[in-house]
Amino acid sequence: MPFKQENIRNIKESAVQMIAGDWALVTAGTRDSFNTMTVSWGGLGELWGRDAAFIFIRPQRYTFGFLEENDRFTLSFFGGAQRDALLLCGSRSGRDTDKAAEAGLTPVSDGDVTYFAEAALVLKCRKMAKYDLTPDGFLDGAVADNYNGTDYHRMYVAEIEETLVRE
Ligand SMILES: Cc1cc2nc3c(=O)[nH]c(=O)nc-3n(C[C@H](O)[C@H](O)[C@H](O)COP(=O)(O)O)c2cc1C
């Protein structure tokens, strides 16, 4: 396996650039049954004394069901590479196509999680909590423009259990 363990706190890249700029793949499920999708909204930090990842997933995503059914998920980061693959995984649904195969990504099976051999950095995450965003919480009225009234994100707060860096 061409990945080595690292401490997330030793990762020097900007978390904003990693997620918002370079994008990531959220993947849930085992090698036999998984789905992946691109995300650019989210965060990395700390909550409840744990290093944590925060992702925001709309309920209509096929990946949503995999996130609900599995305790763990991964975040695969590509450092700005694989842009076409990430665009494909962010525009096609796993309901209709084998996105990983179409995108030329190689799934790696690792216990109860799946990630991609082409990733530069992988975070193995365990769900700690989930919260549905509701419009009564929006303080900036423009935030509501991101929604059609039914598709509010579910936020997952997850402990970063392992950080893998491609060697
Ligand atoms: C750059 C980019 C970022 C995205 N970020 C998110 C996100 O943070 N949350 C979300 O629910 N959807 C996001 N999407 C949309 C999903 O990736 C997209 O709907 C995908 O096709 C869902 O696939 P699925 O149905 O196989 O789960 C993003 C798409 C792109 C292209």
Residue 8 burial (CB count, 10 A): 17
Is the confidence at residue 41, as pLDDT, over 90? yes
State residue 1's pLDDT score: 57
Which among 23, 61, 98 is the best mutation to test ligand 1's pocket, defined by most ligand atoms within 8 Å of the CB?
61
Identify the helix (H) or strand (E) that includes residue 101: helix 99-103
State residue 86's pLDDT score: 98
The answer to whether residues 34 and 66 touch, using CB atoms and an 8 Å cutoff, is yes
Residue 57 CB–ligand 1 contact under 6 Å: yes
Is the confidence at residue 45, as pLDDT, over 80? yes
The answer to whether residues 54 and 156 touch, using CB atoms and an 8 Å cutoff, is yes
Please write the tens of the pLDDT for every residue from 89-123: 999 999 999 999 999 999 999 999 999 999 999 99
State residue 82's pLDDT score: 98
Q: Residue 115 is part of a domain; what is its CATH number?
A: 2.30.110.10
Q: How far is the CA of 49 from the centre of ligand 1 (A)?
A: 29
**Atom number in ligand 1 closest to CA 60:** 25
Residue 37 burial (CB count, 10 A): 25
Average pLDDT, rounded, for the chain = 97
* Domain count along the chain: 1
For residue 163, name the pLDDT band (cuts at 50, 70, 90).
very high
Rounded average pLDDT over 56-84:
98
Expressed as residue numbers, the domain containing 55 is 3-166
DSSP-based three-state secondary structure for 139: coil
The answer to whether residues 75 and 116 touch, using CB atoms and an 8 Å cutoff, is no
Q: How far is the CA of 11 from the centre of ligand 1 (A)?
A: 25
Residue 91 CB–ligand 1 contact under 6 Å: yes
